[in-house]
């Protein structure tokens, strides 16, 4: 659903740019509360994973494909504020390096694909988690529903934006019907990807899933062949707390690094190899834009001269190798850019906490 240059007029592009800038400013502040030394590196990986999976267009109807938007997935894994930043980093990398999504339309894309999907997806997720039984399966079910609804919500948001600032005279009713119809189907694919990813992470490291924080399951012990609840753990004495924390961290972080490397390798494989087999059909917005005449004033992308434009490496004649290299470069650039942003946010949080402690005389 990457909006190119020329779909939306200059005044509304500027207005959505202001909305996007405000959302990013709020998200930077909110992300300080969501990120810690464990989840900050994960956030950079989430951005890279979303970039990789967005290269995997899947067929949804005759001559139409869809791809992950990722807002709901990012919000559930690393938090809603951090989720907005994750998707925004992806959109920035795609626009600058790959000429995917117009640069003058960057505010439209961030507002639609990062802000709307994250807010709607996380709101649905939190609402369902509160009413469903507390357990890992409920988190996965809520993830599915959140992702499913976030995609048509983005389609509605685009339709409203186009109604206010579209550059062609097209019946908005037809645009809305076509956009919502095809994006409900794309939402099903998004829901499957999101539920599978959240389910996989929560199965091995539920402590790293932001949406699963507070989820507690009693430890079970087998006694005489039957599972019974284990007695509650004894509290750790204050004098032994530093040693206990040190031991926990020493045992936890190697597993965290292993998971990070596993996720990075998976992202590189998806973008560098699996992406070659993705559907070549136009995505939902491209198909609707062509059918309804929205694309009549599409402008030339400012990054058309990029050596990676179109998700291929210039001067590499082999299509498989060209696309694979572009995907690997994209994952690498995204994980570096995302990790840098989230490391800086985490550092600001640490500095603020140190200043607060000093002011209290701690």
Distance from CA of residue 139 to its chain's centroid? 17
Give the pLDDT score at 218. Answer: 47
- State pLDDT tens for residues 223-252: 555 655 545 545 445 555 445 444 444 444
Q: What is the pLDDT of residue 236?
A: 45
Which residue in this structure is represented by tokens 């005044």? 11
Q: What is the CATH number of domain 10-228+266-348?
A: 1.10.1760.20
Distance CA 219, CA 211 (A): 21
pLDDT value, residue 208 = 87
Structure tokens at 32: 């300080």
Residues of the chain with pLDDT under 70: 215-255, 349-362
**Start-end of H helices in the chain:** 10-34, 39-54, 71-78, 80-98, 106-109, 117-131, 136-165, 172-204, 241-272, 284-292, 319-359
| 148, burial (CB in 10 Å: exposed 0-12, middle 13-18, buried 19+) | buried
Share of the chain above pLDDT 90, in %: 72
Q: How many residues does the chain have?
A: 362
Q: What is the pLDDT of residue 297?
A: 86
Contact criterion met (CB below 8 Å) for 61 and 279 = no
Residue 302 is predicted with a pLDDT of 82
Alpha carbon separation from 342 to 3, 258, 336, 349 (Å, rounded): 26, 19, 10, 10
CA dist 206 and 209 (Å) reads 5
**CA-to-CA distance for 54 and 199, rounded, in angstroms?**
19
CA angle 339, 321, 273 (to 5 degrees): 60
* pLDDT tens digits, one per residue of 110-163: 999 999 999 999 999 999 999 999 888 999 999 999 999 999 999 999 999 999
pTM as predicted: 0.87
Helix (H) or strand (E) holding 229: strand 226-229
């Amino acid at each position: 659903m990457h909006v190119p240059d020329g779909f939306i007029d200059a005044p509304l592009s500027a207005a959505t740019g202001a909305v996007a800038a405000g959302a990013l400013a709020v998200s930077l502040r909110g992300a300080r509360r969501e990120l810690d030394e464990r989840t900050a590196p994960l956030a950079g990986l989430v951005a890279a994973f979303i970039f990789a999976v967005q290269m995997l267009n899947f067929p949804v109807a005759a001559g139409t494909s869809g791809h992950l938007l990722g807002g709901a997935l990012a919000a559930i894994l690393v938090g809603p504020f951090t989720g907005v930043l994750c998707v925004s980093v992806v959109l920035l990398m795609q626009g600058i390096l790959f000429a995917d999504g117009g640069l003058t339309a960057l505010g439209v894309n961030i507002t639609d694909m990062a802000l709307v999907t994250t807010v709607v997806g996380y709101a649905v997720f939190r609402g369902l988690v509160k009413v469903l039984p507390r357990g890992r399966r409920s988190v996965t079910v809520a993830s599915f529903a959140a992702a499913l609804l976030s995609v048509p919500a983005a389609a509605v948001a685009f339709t409203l934006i186009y109604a206010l600032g579209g550059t062609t005279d097209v019946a908005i009713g037809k645009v809305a019907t076509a956009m919502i119809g095809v994006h409900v189907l794309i939402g099903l694919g998004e829901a499957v990807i999101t539920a599978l990813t959240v389910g996989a992470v929560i199965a091995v490291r539920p402590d790293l899933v932001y949406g699963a924080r507070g989820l507690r399951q009693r430890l079970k012990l087998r006694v005489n062949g039957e599972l019974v609840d284990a007695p509650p753990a004894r509290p750790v004495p204050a004098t032994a707390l530093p040693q206990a924390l040190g031991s926990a961290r020493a045992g936890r972080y190697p597993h965290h690094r292993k998971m990070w490397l596993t996720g990075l390798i998976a992202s590189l494989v998806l973008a560098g190899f699996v992406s070659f087999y993705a559907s070549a059909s136009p995505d939902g917005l491209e198909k609707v834009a062509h059918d309804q005449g929205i694309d009549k004033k599409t402008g030339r992308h400012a990054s058309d001269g990029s050596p990676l434009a179109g998700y291929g490496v210039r001067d590499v004649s082999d299509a498989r190798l060209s696309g694979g290299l572009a995907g690997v470069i994209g994952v690498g650039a995204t994980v570096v850019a995302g990790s840098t942003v989230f490391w800086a946010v985490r550092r600001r949080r640490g500095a603020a906490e140190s200043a607060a402690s000093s002011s209290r005389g701690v």
